[in-house]
Amino acid sequence: MEGREKIILLGGGGHSKVLAELIRLSGKYEIMGILDSELEAGATICGITVLGNDELLPGLNVNGIKNACIAVGSVKDNRKRKKLYELVRSSGFYVPYLIHPQAIVSQTDTDISEGVQIMAGAIVQAGSIIGENTIINTGAIVEHDCTIGKNVHICPGAVVCGGSTIGDNSFIGAGATVIQGIEIGKDTVVGAGALVHKNLTEGVLVKGAHTK
C-alpha cells in the first residue's frame, strides 16, 4: 500500500507479535524490521526481519524511518519500556500512539499521548487521560475521567473505575479491579486479580483485596 509511513519495532517477543498485527490492521504504517539484541539478525518474527540491535537506530533514522514502536511488554517492572522510549525519542524518532481497530476509545474529552498502545477489546471512556508510553492491554477497561500516568501497564482484563488516578510507571495486573475514585502512586504494582478500594502510596506491592 502506497503512502504508508515507515516504522521500526524495538523488541521481538510476544508483545511485538500483538503489535505487528495491530499495525498491519491499521494500514497506516509499513513495518521495516525489528531491533532486538537477544535475537539473531536475519531471523523473522511474524514475517518481519530482525535487523540487529539498538545500535542501528541512528542509521535507520537517517535513512528515512521516522517512527518507532516500543514492542516489549512488562511484568511488574516497566523500566525497560521506559528506557527504550527515552532512547528512541533522544534518537530523533516519533513514537505514535497505536489503537487496535477493535478497541473502543471515546472521542469525548479524552487525551491519548505519544507512545500509548491500546489493544483489541480495550475500552477507554470519556474524559480519560492516558500518559506517554502506556499500555492498555487486551480487554482492559479505563472508565470515565481517569488519569493514567506515563509508562504504565494496565494488563489484560483489568478494570480501572471512574475518576481514578494511576501514577507513572505503575503496573495493574491481569484481572485486577481499581474501584472508583482511587489514587495509586507511581512505581506501584497491583497483583493479578487484586481488588483495590483504598488509595495506595508510591512504590508498594499489593495482592488480593487491599483495604488499608
Q: Give residue-wise pLDDT tens across range 11-23.
A: 999 999 999 999 9
Enter the pTM of the model: 0.94
- Cβ 200 vs Cβ 210: under 8 Å: yes
pLDDT of residue 207: 86
Do residues 60 and 2 touch, judged by C-beta distance below 8 A?
no
Report the alpha-carbon distance of residue 75 to residue 43 in Å, rounded. 25
Select 5-90's CATH number: 3.30.390.50, 3.40.50.2000, 3.30.70.890, 3.40.50.20: 3.40.50.20
At residue 169 the predicted structure's pLDDT band, cuts being 50, 70 and 90, is very high
Q: Which H helix or E strand runs over 33?
A: strand 29-35
pLDDT of 159 above 70: yes
Is the pLDDT at 210 greater than 70? The verdict is no
In percent, the amount of the chain with pLDDT more than 90 equals: 88
DSSP helix, strand, coil percent of the chain (3-state; round to 5) = 15, 30, 55
Considering the domain 97-200 in this protein, what is its CATH number? 2.160.10.10
Per-residue pLDDT at 63 exceeds 50: yes
Q: Where are the beta strands (DSSP E) in 66-128?
A: 67-70, 98-99, 104-105, 111-112, 117-118, 123-124
* DSSP sequence for 113-163: -TT-EE-TT-EE-TT-EE-TT-EE-TT-EE-TT-EE-TT-EE-TT-EE-TT
- How many CA atoms does the CB half-sphere of 97 hold within 13 Å? 17
Whole-number average pLDDT of the chain: 94
- Indicate if the pLDDT at residue 209 is higher than 80: no
Q: From CA 58, how far away is CA 91, in angstroms rounded?
A: 6
| Domains 5-90 and 97-200 fall in the same CATH topology | no
The x, y and z cell numbers of residue 102, run together, are 477493535
Report whether pLDDT(62) > 80: no
In the prediction, which pLDDT does 75 show?
85
Q: What is the pLDDT of residues 86-138, one digit of tens each?
A: 999 999 999 999 999 999 999 999 999 999 999 999 999 999 999 999 999 99
Domain ranges of the chain: 5-90, 97-200
Going by pLDDT thresholds of 50, 70 and 90, the confidence category of residue 208 is confident
